[in-house]
Structures are given as structure tokens and as C-alpha cells.
Structure 1
Amino acid sequence: MHITPATPVRLTTGTLTLRPWAPKDAAALAELYEDEAMRRWATAPVHDEPSAARWVAEQRRGWETGERLAFAVEETRASDARPVGNVVLKRPATGSPSAEVGYWTAAHARGRGVAPRALTALSDWAFATFAHEGLSRLELLHQVDNAASCRVAEKSGFVLSGLLPAAPPAFPLDGHRHVRRAPSPC
């Protein structure tokens, strides 16, 4: 399956909708990055609306190439339509059995199960969509001092599988690798 921005992919899980990022999201994204925790854990270079617009454009290019499929996460019951998070599938070359996932959650949405629900929906979709290409394993990587990411990984079916050595400057501390395997065919 070739996926592009012309292929509207929308996923729903309960009150959450996952959809590709759009240019209209730049202002809200810049506001979300005013949060200190976002700036600490999310590595995107977002510090104002123009940099947010560049980040959104990069996510759109990721869909065009099929290498990085990023979804804005929205709550369907919210009167405010701004994103509450992001989940991403980082795909290697076709035929690889592994891919990486990532996520972040906005400050106003933390502690409500948004990240595990969105990450589970993304993972289920990835396994179903790319099984024919051999995808059988997803990895979630984070720094060892990010205890919240360990909890999200566990709640999303990712098992701690190893330690990663620090790789400064992007990863100044050691990390954890969590793995989720595709469900076995019946």
C-alpha cells in the first residue's frame, strides 16, 4: 500500500482521532511547545509559529515519501480542536521486519491515557497495513530518565527489551528499547 497525503488516513479509537498533520495546525503546535516538558522530551525544533509550520511541512513530506507517517491526535469530544498529541511510525525500507514509533502528549492532555490509546491505535494500524511488507516488530526508544515513557510503552503492549548507550547530543543519557511484536495469525 502506497500512502501519501492524497490518501486520507484517519484512525479513531474511542474519543481520539488520529489524522495527518495539516498546515492549519502550526499555530496550535507552537503553543503546545511553550510547555517545558515538551521542549525537554520532544526533539522537534519548534519555538514559534514559523518553525512549527516548517515542522508540519516536514511531516507532510514524510507522508509523501512513506518514511515518516506522523499523526496529530485530537479528542473528538473536545470543543477545542487543537491537537492533544502526536504519534509517528518511522518506516525503514520496504521489506524490513522492524519500524520505530514515537509519540508526545500535550501538557493539557497528560495523565488521561491519551498516549497509550493513540500509540496502541497506531501500532495496530501499522501491523495491519504493512504486514504484507513483512512488518512484524515495532520499537519505542526513550531516555532512561523518562519514566512516563516506560509507563506508556507498557500500557501500549511494548516490552522493555534492552538498554541503549547514550548518543550525545541528541540522546545524552542511556536509553530504553521497548518492543511490540505483531499479533500471531490465527
Structure 2
Amino acid sequence: MPSLVTPVLPSGRLNASAQPALPIDGDLLLRPWLASDAAAVARVFEDPTIQHWHLRKADSEDEARAWIEQWRRGWESETACHWAVADVGDDRVLGRVSLQSIIMVGGQAEISYWTTPESRGKGVCSRAVARVARWALEEVGFHRLELGHSTANVASCRIAEKTGFALEGIRRRALLHTDGWHDMYLHARLHEV
């Protein structure tokens, strides 16, 4: 069935080349995930704060390694882009930023993120989210990026505000966490024409 619209992002726009590494201010690097990052991912998902705001946990390094493989396949299928936020000096994993639920026709994606406990409050997350948003909207040509988080997650709201994601509304009782249903804020950034 022929489409009535021209896709914002034509097939192959992402996976025609290798997933890029994106430098940030000389001290951080957004890079594709490596199988060797599994121990760092498993350790982060032991953190009670991560477990509070996320819907899954890693029970082992093998499970974390399987996640990483899934994250890497997202680039190949043009359904997601996942980056490790790494320290340039020692390549230590400080966090993760991803574009998920990519819709190529509309040029849309959802941005998500986390940081390691020791990286919080140092600007790592906001800098990484801002860099991925700039790459997606200005370099690749995405039309719209959405950012959703629980209305109780004050830290995520600060990240959204710092990185230019405008609050658009509340999705009531939209996500089930371990402590029950959460209302979710919906923020978005659009490509500036």
C-alpha cells in the first residue's frame, strides 16, 4: 500500500553507516555499547533509585550482556539508538541515553536516560541528553523527540527543563511501577525550522 506522505527519515538514514560516537565537551563520550560494559550495567541496576524508576532489573552480567546485544540491534533495525555515556579518560560507564520507539515516517522517538549513582548531580545526564537531542534534531533530521517520566521523579523533570523539553501535559496513571500506577509528564522538543 503506497504512503501518502514522504517519510521524514527514509529507511537507511540511520543504519547506512555505523552508529556514531558523540563527544561532549572533551570529557564525555557517547559511544555504542560494548559487551564488556555488562558488569557496569548489572551494577547500576542493583541501585535502589534505578530500580524505583525502571521497570526491569538485571539479575546477572549475562542478562546485562543480552540487553547490550538488544541495544546494538536497535541501531541495525532503525528502531532505537542506545549510547553508553563514558568518561573520556578511562572509558568508565557513567550512564546511558537512548532514542527508542523510533517512527521513521514521522521522524519521532522517545528519549530515555539513567546515570550511575556516583555520576548524579554533576551535569552528566543533562549534557548527554542535550547532545543526543542536538544530534537527532539537527544532524539527523528527526522532527519530534518525546521525554516521559513519573510526575514524582523530580530529577528527571529537571533534566527535561534543562535540555529544552517543553512540558506538554500529564498522561494520567500511564505507567505501572513497583509501587503502583504513576501519572507521567510528557515533555517534547521539536526540530526548529
Query: Normalised by the size of structure 2, how large is the TM-score?
Result: 0.85
Q: Which residue of 2 aligns with 1:35?
A: 47
CA-based RMSD: 1.9
In the alignment, does 2:13 pair up with 1:9? no
Distance in 2 of aligned mates of 1:61 and 1:22: 12
Give the secondary structure class of the aligned counterpart of 1:167: strand
Moved more, 175-184 or 115-124: 175-184
Structure number with the higher strand fraction is: 2
**For this pair of structures, how many residues does the alignment match?**
179
The 3 A distance-change label for structure 1 pair 51 and 111 is same
Is the Cα–Cα contact under 8 Å of residues 172 and 184 in structure 2 kept in the other structure? Answer: yes
Distance in 2 of aligned mates of 1:169 and 1:141: 13
Once superposed, which parts of structure 1, at least 4 consecutive aligned residues long, lie more than 2 Å away?
Answer: 1-6, 42-45, 167-171
The 3 A distance-change label for structure 1 pair 57 and 4 is same
Is the Cα–Cα contact under 8 Å of residues 102 and 109 in structure 2 kept in the other structure? Answer: yes
Structure of larger gyration radius? 2
**Alignment deviations for residues 21-76 of structure 1 (CA, whole Å, 9 cap, x no partner):** 11111011111222111111133431221111111111011111011100000121
Moved more, 83-92 or 142-151: 83-92
Distance in 2 of aligned mates of 1:159 and 1:70: 23
Distance in 2 of aligned mates of 1:51 and 1:6: 28
Distance in 1 of aligned mates of 2:52 and 2:106: 31
Query: Normalised by the size of structure 1, how large is the TM-score?
Result: 0.88
Q: Which residue of 2 aligns with 1:147?
A: 154
Give structure 2 stretches of 5+ with no counterpart: 1-11
Give how far 1:91 is off.
4.5
Q: List aligned pairs for 1:108-119, cutoff 5 A.
A: 108-119=118-129
Give how far 1:183 is off.
2.6
The 3 A distance-change label for structure 1 pair 66 and 22 is same
In the alignment, does 2:170 pair up with 1:160? no
Give how far 1:96 is off.
0.5
Give the secondary structure class of the aligned counterpart of 2:149: strand
The 3 A distance-change label for structure 1 pair 95 and 8 is closer
Give structure 1 stretches of 5+ with no counterpart: none
Give how far 1:167 is off.
3.1
